[in-house]
Copies of this chain bind each other. A is one copy, B any other.
Amino acid sequence: MRRFDPQRRDRIIEAALEVIVDLGVGRTTHRLIAERAGVPLGSMTYHFNNLEEVIWSAFEKFAARMQQSFEDRLRRAAPTGDLVRAIAPPVEGDRSQQQADALLVLELYVLAIRHPVYRRLVEQWMASTRASIERHFSTQHTEVIDALVEGFFIHRVFSGSVPSPDAIAHALQMLTKGTDPLRSISGPRAKPSSSS
């Protein structure tokens, strides 16, 4: 199977993500994906049972990628103590990539409200995000931090000027003043105030 073009399935999935970004799930068709992936139309239903399966695979891959990327950002930041900046939605990266990600996240949410399979995917992703946060911050703040990150992520899409990481860092500081928002990496490292 797929002896001569082993990456074809994968290319189709990537193409599907691109089409979804461009036109939305509702306008995504076999034809458009096939064209974008550079594969014959008949190839679509050969590699996938139906269109829904293609779309599912695309979102599955997307969620995994986003999840991984968030985790990485937190992990890379931990040793440097720049955690508050790390959890804020990244500013680096071209804006169009950000819009594309937001588009996919929102379309995924919409699917998740309607279809249990997608709901499970989102719940699992959200759980993973909270776990990542909890690994670095204190438990009692996790939920709030999580909501804050989500809210900023969305609002950033619709305002040219979004809260800078610094502003977010400040919010977190306020949110956790008195208690220690950061977990485990105790001692001398503190004084995040210097970084605001």
**This chain's copy number in the assembly:** 4
Give the distance in Å from the alpha carbon of A55 to the alpha carbon of B126 in the complex: 31
- Selected interface stretch from A57-65, A78-86, A139-147, A187-195: A139-147
Give the distance in Å from the alpha carbon of A25 to the alpha carbon of B110 in the complex: 10
Task: Find out whether the CB atom of B106 lies under 8 angstroms from the CB atom of A110.
Answer: yes
Give the distance in Å from the alpha carbon of A24 to the alpha carbon of B24 in the complex: 11
Task: Find out whether the CB atom of B177 lies under 8 angstroms from the CB atom of A171.
Answer: no
- Selected interface stretch from A4-12, A67-75, A111-119: A111-119
Give the distance in Å from the alpha carbon of A119 to the alpha carbon of B146 in the complex: 25
Give the distance in Å from the alpha carbon of A26 to the alpha carbon of B44 in the complex: 21
Task: Find out whether the CB atom of B143 lies under 8 angstroms from the CB atom of A154.
Answer: no
Interface string of A143-164 (1 = CB under 8 A from B): 1101111111011011100010
Task: Find out whether the CB atom of A144 lies under 8 angstroms from the CB atom of B155.
Answer: no
A37 within 8 A of B: no
Query: Contact check: which of B150, B154, B176 meets A109 at CB < 8 Å?
Result: B154
Query: Contact check: which of B26, B109, B147 meets A152 at CB < 8 Å?
Result: B147
- Point out the residues of chain B lying under 8 angstroms from A157, CB to CB: 109, 113
- Point out the residues of chain B lying under 8 angstroms from A176, CB to CB: 174
A99-B113, A109-B158, A171-B175 are known; give 20 further A-B pairs, CB within 8 A. Answer: A24-B110, A24-B114, A26-B27, A103-B110, A106-B113, A110-B110, A112-B158, A122-B158, A123-B158, A123-B159, A126-B155, A126-B158, A143-B163, A144-B167, A147-B151, A147-B171, A148-B151, A151-B151, A151-B152, A177-B177
